[in-house]
Structure 1
Amino acid sequence: MTGPTEHVHIHAPLLLGVIGDPIAHSKSPAMHNIALEAAGLPGMYVPLHVKPEHLAEAVTGARALGFSGFNVTIPHKVEIMTLLDELDESAISCGAVNTVVIRDGITTGYNTDGIGYVRSLKEETGELNGKKVVVLGAGGAARGIVYALLKEHVSDVVIVNRTRERADELISILTDKAEGTSLSSASQDELESVLSSADILINTTSIGMHPDLDATPVDAALIPEGIVVSDLIYNPLETRLLREAKARGCTVVGGLGMFIYQGAYAFEYWTGVEAPVSLMHSAVLEALNHEHNPL
């Protein structure tokens, strides 16, 4: 991986962070602080709790405080786009930003969710070319992922959302990127028929995330045996959806790989230094383990 900042010369300590609401649960600080240390870069990555009504002030503040960049998480990934000076093609195409680089006072938004996710999915399952994919949810995370899937030339993407209009809106944004992939939407009621011919099911919603561990976005009986089932959630490492899919002989892919790789790409954009992926992975696992088994 190489970010667009390959030849950055760093002198002052780097200020980095993640903005979201809520934010206390984020494992990004654990991951990025170990990466900075391993790369020998002085600096700090901090969690920043920003309410929606203070988003514009937060962007101005980060610039004023000399931040080199920050990550953006729920619920700010779409709204932040109007507040940045420039947008990378990845951000424009999927209508969401999860990484902001600040250089010479200029803020530029990127989306590393999609490329991070696809890299993780391919590591677990192989090539995606020609696959039929069902995506649950049509929010900021779904945008990044569908955009990246289109680059992999999957045959079909069906977006299933509670409000179908939201799914249709996402399709209209991405249609010109489809390049031979069939893009369509479906309602929850159509989930069974849509899933019957799916190769891959991806949950981009927060249903099943800690602490709501008993929730699942799909009735287990609807999941075809033996397909690939992927959940973006990484806390818990195995959601109820993945547990039930595994019981049906499915190949399951948790959200941890995507989380690590989106962070690795962001780290490289900020620093120009290759991300220590395996160390970042270990740091997140340790943080998750500590959270569930505090001393």
Structure 2
Amino acid sequence: MTDERNNDILPVKISGVTGPVTGWLDGHTILLGLFADPIRHSVSPTMHNNAFAKLGLNGAYLCFEIGPDRIGDAVSALRTLDMRGANVSMPNKQAIIPYLDKLDPAAEICGAVNTVVNEHGLLTGYTTDGTGWLRSLKEDGQDVKGKVMTLAGAGGAAIPIAVAAAMGGAREIRIFNIHDRNWEPAKEKVAAINEATSCVCSLNPMEDKEAFKQSIAESAIYCDATGVGMPPLDDMSLVEDPSWLHEDMVVSDTVYEPRETKLMRIARQAGVKHVYNGLGMVVGQGAEAFKLWTGQEMPVEYIKEIVAKA
């Protein structure tokens, strides 16, 4: 990693520690990490360590290959070492919850956590996946407030997006999913969204293609939060024809590799003005976690450039 800092001594205030930045690693370095398995492919260390460097913050972000069988030990270590916090990815997003002290409202509805903040032993679980997605739209001048949205998928990416959109003021969210293992849990999440927000949320069978097509036509936002579009399904799209879409809507794919999915190509053929891949969501969720830990905004455009090359 290249040191992008200037030669000034910058103040650091993270987790109650205030002092000069004197080097990458010293007696004041604040430790954060990621608990997941597998983990070595993650771009999170690239994001956070470059953000620390750019802002002159004395922090270090490391990967720890941890599965559910050891997540309790990992949380104990987080407390013992007074780490500022950690990100959590599969397969630990649900498994970590019993070891935390409290959850923020969105994480409670989702029943999943991807970010932990440690306030000197008090551990709070958050989900920043959905707020990261919302943030990526807002950075381009788009919003969900008062809008009708069709959401494909009911798994680990889809539910946080639905929760964030509902809390962000979406008028209606129509979730479409096949009858797989996510169907019954999604029914509970939809009920929780309807109880906690003013948004009207529904779960619908993806097998009903006509209803899916009609819903997209009536929506201001279509988001695909499934794995369709990434290898080995990179030649597929749930939207089968440009005629399903209209030019004034937002089309968002949570897949970021490849950078342009088949859905995105179909959307551009339809003349859709606002088409996004999942890179903005990836950086957005990292930026939301970064702010929870440091109180500062991640230099998002700078980090996007770095992640795009990673």
Report what 1:183 is aligned to.
201
CA offset digits 1:16-57 (Å, max 9, x no partner): 122223222211111100011112222321222222322222
Q: What are the Cα deviations for residues 103-159 of structure 1, in whole angstroms up to 9, with x where unaligned? A: 212221112222221121233352323322111121232222111111332221111
- 3-state SS of paired residue (1:46): strand
Instruction: Kindly indicate whether residue 97 of structure 2 is the aligned counterpart of residue 81 of structure 1.
Output: yes
The TM-score with structure 1 as length reference comes to: 0.86
Q: Report what 2:9 is aligned to.
A: none
Note the 1:259-278 alignment, pairs <5 A.
Answer: 259-278=282-301
Larger Rg: 2
Q: What is the Cα deviation at residue 222 of structure 1?
A: 7.3
Whole-angstrom CA distance in 1 between matches of 2:103 and 2:34: 18
Corresponding residue for 1:90?
Answer: 106
Match of 1:9? 17
User: 2:187 is matched with which residue?
Assistant: 168
- Given the two structures, how large is their TM-score scaled by the length of structure 2? 0.82
Q: CA deviation at 1:245?
A: 2.1
Higher RCO, Cα 8 Å, sep 6+:
1
The 8 Å contact of residues 178 and 207 in structure 2, kept in 1 or not, is answered as: no
The structure where helix makes up a greater share of residues is 1
Displacement of 1:184 in angstroms is: 0.9
2:163 to 137, 147, 151: 147
Between the aligned residues of both structures, percent identity stands at 39
Whether 1:58 and 2:58 are equivalent positions in the alignment is no
Q: Say which of 215, 224, 234 aligns to 1:213.
A: 234
- The match for 1:291 is none
Letter in 1 for 2:210: E
Tell me the alpha carbon deviations over residues 73-124 of structure 1, each in whole angstroms, 9 at most, x when there is no partner: 2332233222212212232233221111122122211122222211212333
Rounded Cα–Cα distance in structure 1 between residues aligned with 2:241 and 2:295: 44
Match of 1:292 in 2: none
Equivalent pairs counted in the alignment come to 282
Name which of 266, 277, 280 aligns with 1:254.
277
Does residue 231 (structure 1) correspond to residue 239 (structure 2)? The answer is no
Matched AA of 1:99: T
Structure 2 unaligned residues grouped into runs of 5+: 1-12, 20-27
CA distance in 2, matches of 1:166, 1:267: 29
Write out aligned runs for 1:36-47 (5 A): 36-47=52-63
Q: CA-atom RMSD, angstroms?
A: 2.4
Q: 1:127 to 1:221 in 2, by over 3 A?
A: closer
Distance 1:128 1:7 in 2: 33
- Is 2:252–2:277's contact at 8 Å kept on the other side of the alignment? yes
Greater shift in the superposed pair: 6-15 or 169-178:
6-15
